[in-house]
Amino acid sequence: MNELFEQFAEAQTVRNGYLLAQTLSPVAPPDDAHRLRKIWQSTNSHSVKGDIKHFIKTQSSYRVNLDVDEINGWVEVYAAYWNAIGEILAGESGKSTWTKVYESWKELTSMLIRGYNNFGFEAWTIPSLYLVGKYLRLFAIKSDDERSRSSADPTTAASLMQDDFDPESEKQAQLRDCEQHLKRIFTLCLNDRAPIGESRKWGIYFVINLLFKTYFKLNSASLSRTILKTLAVYNDKGDMPSLESFPKAQRVTFKYYEGVLFFLEENYVQAEKHLVQAWNLCHKDAKANLERILTYLIPCRLLTSHVLPTKKLLEPFPRLQDLFLPLAQCIRQGDLRQFDIALQHGEDVFVRRRIYLTLERCRDIALRNLLRKVFIAGGFDEAKDGDTAPPVRRTRVPVAEFRAAICMGSGGETVDTDEVECLLANMIYKDLMKGYIARERGIVVLSKKGAFPGTGV
């Protein structure tokens, strides 16, 4: 424990919040694999608070001047940390559960929050909240997974009494509890009235990102809007540092989730804007993050500007290549049948990522490209005698020609004329094709200029 509080004293001396946060890590550093066990074995439940106070005073007295209240606050924090270490070590030997680990870590979180509210912890120590909040969420997820496996075991009491309770309500109980504590941290940072340079507001985006991840995991992404609305109020009042002032990692994550929220609300223009910002900010070697951003950016661009992903773009991401390149090829060729097959191939992933319905809409782009081929294949109107004007493409296309193409593009499936006319009407309504249907003559009259917007014809 002496080494732990030597690091604590050093962090206090140089006012390094990230160094301080490492003293509360539940994971031993690579160069000291037995650190947690050494801390646990250095005291006992009867002496832990007294020993911690002794070490803090001994190591800190000649380096930094901590007042009595602040020392007492850190004593409570590290006593809770010591208890949590005990549960973690007991779990490693099969004598504890993730639920007990979560509960002990939740107590540590509460003590740390209390330190800021009652014992005057300074804003530079905010990275400790980052670390504690991060692991609170991870332990909650592990606890819920453990409880789910336990309830699925037919020998457990929960399964024997399953008619007496709703198992779905318990499925993510710990993560829902965790969300409440993360909101406490959010409020703690947001409501700090200290000058900006010394404010806890510098922790706000890290906590917001943790809340975003939690809401998405709970399948309650819409709750993120409440957080954003609250943040907007403070930004409008000028009572918040600008987003550009925060670490790039926090900005990337924030912009990514903001983009995904707009995506889920079907506001694809705004979604694309925020996802592009996240893409530009993201480090080029952060392949996993770049892949997540592209997963939503590609469907956005397909719908907003009909831009297909290239092989070069997807080359570093084999999973995305497998999912999106077949779709892109089918859209480019206007192959409706193969498009449906490619969409079905990636259905599980597309549904899980909530992009299936958006990609399904891209079938209209494939259909547009197919109809465009029919238009181009129709050639040009015959020039009148003595007419030296440039040739003009045929703009009156029989519905029967479109029907034949759609039947071929659908893998030989028979599509009746009424359905074809309905498809053509939808294309005109969605501004993917300019013209009108003359039903009595069985033709489609297309615009002489820009019959298929965005395609050059």
**pLDDT the model gives residue 308:** 92
Q: What pLDDT, on the 0 to 100 scale, is given for residue 386?
A: 58
Q: DSSP for 234-302?
A: HHHTT-S--GGGS-HHHHHHHHHHHHHHHHHTT-HHHHHHHHHHHHHHS-TT-HHHHHHHHHHHHHHHH
- Mean pLDDT for 46-61 is 88
Res. 192: pLDDT tops 60: yes
Residue showing tokens 């900006």: 196
Q: Which residue has the higher pLDDT, 37 or 392?
A: 37
Average predicted confidence (pLDDT) for the chain = 89
The pLDDT value given to residue 238? 84
Provide mean pLDDT across the span 151-177: 59
pLDDT band at 163; cut points 50, 70, 90: very low
Is the pLDDT at 390 greater than 80? The verdict is: no
- Residues constituting the chain: 457
pLDDT higher than 60, residue 169:
no
Helix then strand count (H, E) for the chain reads 23, 3
Weakest-pLDDT range from 41-50, 266-275, 338-347, 374-383: 374-383
- Relative to beta strand 435-438, strand 396-398 is unpaired
pLDDT at 405: 92
The whole-number pLDDT of residue 160 equals: 41
Mean pLDDT computed over 181-193: 93
Of 35-44, 132-141, 144-153, the least confident: 144-153
Q: How far apart are CA 326 and CA 349, in angstroms?
A: 15
pLDDT tens for each residue of 39-53: 999 999 999 999 999
Q: Which residue has the higher pLDDT, 330 or 159?
A: 330
Q: Residue 322 — pLDDT band, cuts 50, 70, 90? A: very high
Cα–Cα distance measured from residue 67 to residue 56, given in angstroms and rounded to the nearest whole number: 11
Q: Are strands 396-398 and 443-446 parallel, antiparallel or unpaired?
A: antiparallel
Better-scored residue on pLDDT, 103 or 414: 103
Region 124-148: mean pLDDT is 94
- Around Cβ 365, how many Cβ atoms within 10 Å? 20
Look at residue 159 in the predicted model and tell me its pLDDT.
41
Lowest mean pLDDT among 136-150, 277-291, 369-383, 397-411: 369-383
Look at residue 388 in the predicted model and tell me its pLDDT: 60
The larger pLDDT score, comparing residue 313 to residue 449, is at 313
Residue 217: name the closest of 164, 266, 277, 174 by CA: 174
Binning pLDDT at 50, 70 and 90, where does residue 112 land? very high
Please provide residue 248's backbone torsions phi and psi, each rounded to the nearest 5 degrees: -60, -35
Predicted pLDDT at 385:
56
> Residue 407 pLDDT more than 60?
yes
Confidence of residue 387 (pLDDT cuts 50, 70, 90): low
Tell whether the model's pLDDT for residue 59 goes beyond 60.
yes
> Model confidence over 266-317: pLDDT tens digits?
999 999 999 999 999 999 999 999 999 999 999 999 999 889 999 999 999 9
pLDDT of the residue at 66:
84
Please choose, from the candidates 421, 402, 417, the residue with its C-alpha nearest in 3D space to the C-alpha of residue 334: 402
The pLDDT value recorded for residue 57 is: 87
Q: What is the pTM of this model?
A: 0.87
Give the per-residue pLDDT at 384: 66
Instruction: Inform me whether the pLDDT recorded for 325 exceeds 70.
Output: yes
Q: What is the pLDDT of residues 201-244, one digit of tens each?
A: 999 999 999 999 999 999 999 999 999 999 999 988 888 889 99
